[in-house]
Chain A
C-alpha cells in the first residue's frame, strides 16, 4: 500500500490528466495506481469523477468547448478501461440509471453523447439508445430497465414534437417516471409544457439537474 501522500499525489495526477486532455498520461497514471496498490474505486471517484465535474463547470462557463470536452472524455475512458476491472466493491445496487436517446426524426447526437459522458463520469449506469430512436423504444427500454430517469434530446424544432408524445406514452405505463429533456430548440418552459420534470441547457448542467430531480422526488 502506498502512503496517503503518494495515493493523493497519484489521484491528483489522474485528475489533472483528464483536465489537461492527456489520454496517454491518464493511461500511465492509471497503471501506476494499480501497480502501487491504490484503490481503483477511490481513484475513479476522487480522480475521474471529480475531474469530469470540473470539466462540466469549465464547459458551462465557456472555458471549455466541445473539442476540449471530447478529449477530456477520451482521457476519462482510457483510464476507466484500466481501472474498472479492478473495482472491488459491487456498486450496481446503488448506481442510478438513466436511459438516453435522441428522438425520432433526429440524427444529431453530439449533445446527447456529451450528456452521456457526464452521467457515466458521475457513476450512473447509462442506457444509450442512440439517435433517431422511435418513440415506442423509450417505453420498451424503461419497462426493461426501470431507470431512475429518462433523458430525451432533440436538435430540430420538428423532431422536438416527439418529446411530448414519448412522455405521454411513458406516463401511461408509469405515472411516476422522471423525464428530463434538452437540445437547442428547447428551453425550460417548453420542456415543462411538454411534461418533462427537468431541463438542462447543456451537458455540464445535466447531472446536477438529474440529482435535483431525484432529490425532489424522494421528498
Chain B
C-alpha cells in the first residue's frame, strides 16, 4: 500500500498490509534535508518539502503537517520564540498574554484568519491540497492551550484558588479552537480535514485525575463533540505524558469512528487498549529519548514488543513515537523503526 492509503484504510476499518508507522517528525526532517529547524515552523513551503522528501526517503506513513505544542501562545497575543540553538527543537514561549485576572478580563477572541501562526498553518494546508496530500490541522487540547495563554504555574494555582478564572479561560479557549477547526472545514470541506489535538498539560505529572475531571474533561468533550458534529470523520488525540489515571475520562471523550489515541511511554499499550481499544485505533509509544540514544538493536527489540502488544487492539494499531521524534535521532534508528514495522507489523 502507498502513502496515505494504509492510514486511510485503517481509519475506515479496512484491511492493511501491515500496521502504519507515524513518525511525529518535524525538526528531524529539517536536519535531514539541511535547513534550519525554525524553517519547519516559519516557512511553510520549505517545511512541507523537507517533510515530503524525508517521508519519501524512509517510506513511513506520516504525510507533511504543520503544528507545534505551544499553539495558542501567539494566537491569543503572546510571544513565541522560534528554535534557533543547537539544543532547541520547537517554538517556545516568550511572553504570555494572561498573567493576572485583569489580563484575563481583557483577553480578546482571536481572529481565526489572522491570529498568530494561523496564516502560516493555512498556507501549509493549501500546499497539502496542492500536492494532493491529506489536509491537516494541529491544535492543542483545551487545557494545554489554556496553559499556553497563561503561565502553567499561575493556571495551576488558579485551579485551586480561582476556579472561576480557569473556567473563563477555558471557555474562550474552547470556543476559539472550535472556530479554528470551522475555518479549516469551511475552506477545505469537512470531509477533507484531519484534525490532531495534542494534550500534554493534562498529564498527571501536572494535575490530578480530579482536576482533570473538573477542568479538562467537560471542555475537551464539548470541543470534540462540536468538531465531530461539523462533519469530521475522526480525530487524532495525542494524549501525552503520564495519563494513566485520566484514562477512564479519555474513554468517555468522543474521537470519531475510528479516531486515533496516541500515547507516550508512560501509558502501556496494553493498558491503552484496555480503556480505549474498543472505541479507537491505538498509537504509540516509543520513548523519544530512547529513539535518540538507543542502539538500533535495542530500538528494534522495543518496537517488536510494542507492535506485538499493539496488534491486540481490536480497531487497529499504529507504531508511533511517544512524542515528537528528536531532531538528533540517528538516521539508522529511523530506518530501524520502519524495518520493525515491515518485519513484525503484518497481521
The interface of chain A, by Cβ under 8 A from chain B, is 21, 62, 65-68, 70-71, 74, 103-107, 110, 113, 156-162, 184-187, 190, 193, 202
Contacts and interface: CB of A to CB of B under 8 A. Distances in A.
B172 interface: no
Given A158-B88, A159-B88, 5 more contacts: A66-B152, A67-B156, A67-B207, A159-B87, A161-B328
Contact of B327 (A66, A107, A158, A162): A158
A190 B292 CA distance: 11
Interface string B132-145: 00000000000000
Contacts of B205: 66, 184, 202
A190 B293 contact: yes
A68 B248 CA distance: 23
Given A110-B153, A157-B326, A158-B326, A105 B85 contact: yes
Contacts of B160: 21, 67-68, 71
A158 B153 contact: no
Nearest to B324: A157
Interface string B71-94: 000000000010101111110110
A66 B88 CA distance: 25
Given A104-B87, A105-B87, A157 B156 contact: no
B2 interface: no
20 contacts: A62-B204, A62-B208, A65-B207, A66-B152, A66-B207, A67-B156, A67-B211, A68-B160, A68-B208, A107-B93, A110-B206, A157-B288, A157-B292, A158-B88, A158-B327, A158-B328, A159-B88, A162-B87, A185-B289, A190-B289
B245 interface: yes
Contact of A71 (B161, B204, B292): B161
Contacts of A105: 83, 85-89
B277 interface: no
A71 B88 contact: no
Give the interface size bracket for B toward A: 35 or more
Interface in B94-115: none
B157 interface: yes
B153 A65 contact: no
Contacts of B83: 105
The 10 closest A-B pairs by CB, nearest first: A105-B87, A185-B289, A158-B89, A157-B326, A67-B156, A105-B88, A65-B208, A157-B288, A159-B87, A157-B289
Contacts of B207: 65-67
Interface in B291-328: 291-293, 323-324, 326-328
B159 A62 contact: no
A202 B206 CA distance: 11
A5 to B, nearest CB: 33
B44 interface: no
Given A67-B157, A71-B161, A106 B87 contact: yes
A157 B28 CA distance: 12
A66 B87 contact: no
Contacts of B245: 62
Contacts of B64: none
Contacts of B85: 104-105
A128 to B, nearest CB: 14
B241 interface: yes
Nearest to A202: B205
B289 A113 contact: no
A106 B89 CA distance: 9
Contacts of B289: 157, 160, 185-187, 190
Contacts of A66: 152, 156, 205-207
A100 B84 CA distance: 23
B27 interface: yes
A78 B330 CA distance: 49
B217 to A, nearest CB: 16
Contacts of A103: 87
